[in-house]
A and B are shown apart, each in its own frame.
Chain A
Amino acid sequence: MLLVAVGIGVLAVIVSAILGPKKASRAKLMAYESGNDPEHGGVGTNQRFPVHFYLVAMLFIIFDIETAFFYPLAVAYQKLIPFAFFEALTFVLLLLVGYVYVLKKRVLEWA
Chain B
Amino acid sequence: MPDWLIAALITLLKAVLVALALLTTFAYMTLVERRLLARMQIRWGPNRVGPMGLLQPLADAIKSIFKEDLQVTMADKLVYTLAPIIAIGMALTAFGGIPAGPAGSLFGADPWVYNLDAGLLALLALTSMGVYGIFLGGWASGSKYPILGGLRSSAQMISYELGMGLSILGTLMLIGSLNFRVIVEWQALAGWTVLFQVFAFALFLLSSFAEVNRTPFDLPEAEQEIVAGYLTEYTAIKWALFQMAEYVNMITASALMATLFFGGYRGPVFLDGLIPGISGWPIIWLVVKIAFFLFLFIWVRATLPRFRYDQLMRLGWKLVLPAALTNTMLVAFYLAFLKPAGLGLWFLGLLSLAGLLGLFLMSDRVRALWSAPAAPKVPVKPARPVGGD
Contact = CB atoms under 8 A, between A and B. Distances in A.
Partners in one complex: yes
Interface of A: 1-6, 8-10, 12-13, 15-17, 19-24, 26, 28-33, 38, 40-43, 47, 49, 52-53, 56-57, 59-60, 63-64, 67, 70-71, 74-79, 81-82, 84-85, 88-89, 92, 96, 99, 103, 106, 108-111
B93 A24 contact: no
Contact of B85 (A13, A57, A63, A82): A13
B89 A9 contact: yes
Contact of A85 (B76, B88, B159, B336): B336
A78 B158 CA distance: 29
Contact of A20 (B69, B155, B161): B69
15 contacts: A2-B89, A6-B89, A8-B88, A15-B65, A15-B237, A16-B237, A41-B74, A49-B151, A70-B328, A76-B176, A78-B173, A84-B332, A85-B332, A88-B329, A110-B310
A79 to B, nearest CB: 8
Q: Is the interface of B mostly helix, strand, loop or mixed?
A: helix
Contacts of B64: 16
B16 interface: yes
Contacts of B143: 31-33, 38, 41
Contacts of A79: 176
Range class of the B interface residue count:
35 or more
B134 interface: no
B250 interface: no
Interface in B335-385: 335-337, 340, 373-374
Contact of B169 (A33, A63, A74, A81): A74
Interface stretch (B191-199, B269-277, B316-324): B316-324
Q: Is the interface of A mostly helix, strand, loop or mixed?
A: helix
Contacts of B295: none
B332 A71 contact: no
A43 B76 contact: yes
Contact of A22 (B68, B73, B88, B233): B68
B196 to A, nearest CB: 14
Contacts of B329: 88-89, 92
A26 B121 CA distance: 46
Contact of A33 (B75, B86, B144, B310): B144
A43 B140 contact: yes
Contacts of B89: 2, 5-6, 8-9
In the complex, which of the residues A5, A15, A22 has the most CB atoms of chain B within 10 Å of its own CB atom? A5
Contacts of B332: 77, 84-85, 88-89
Given A1-B92, A5-B19, A75-B177, A13 B84 contact: yes
Contacts of B336: 81-82, 84-85
Interface string B55-87: 000000000111111111111100001001110
4 A-B pairs with the lowest CB-CB distances in the bound complex, closest first: A110-B310, A5-B92, A16-B237, A31-B143
B105 to A, nearest CB: 19
Nearest to B169: A74
A16 to B, nearest CB: 4
A39 B66 CA distance: 31
B142 to A, nearest CB: 4
B335 to A, nearest CB: 6
Contacts of A78: 173, 176, 335
B84 A9 contact: yes
Contacts of A70: 166, 169, 328
B172 A17 contact: no
Given A8-B23, A75-B178, A110-B313, A67 B236 contact: no
Contacts of B240: 12
Nearest to A8: B19
Interface string B200-237: 00000000000000000000000000010000110011
Contact of A40 (B91, B144, B151, B169): B144
A77 to B, nearest CB: 5
Nearest to B17: A4
In the complex, which of the residues B86, B151, B173, B313 has the most CB atoms of chain A within 10 Å of its own CB atom? B173
Contacts of A3: 15
Contacts of B169: 67, 70-71, 74
Contacts of A22: 68-69
A20 B93 contact: no
Contacts of A5: 15, 19, 88-93
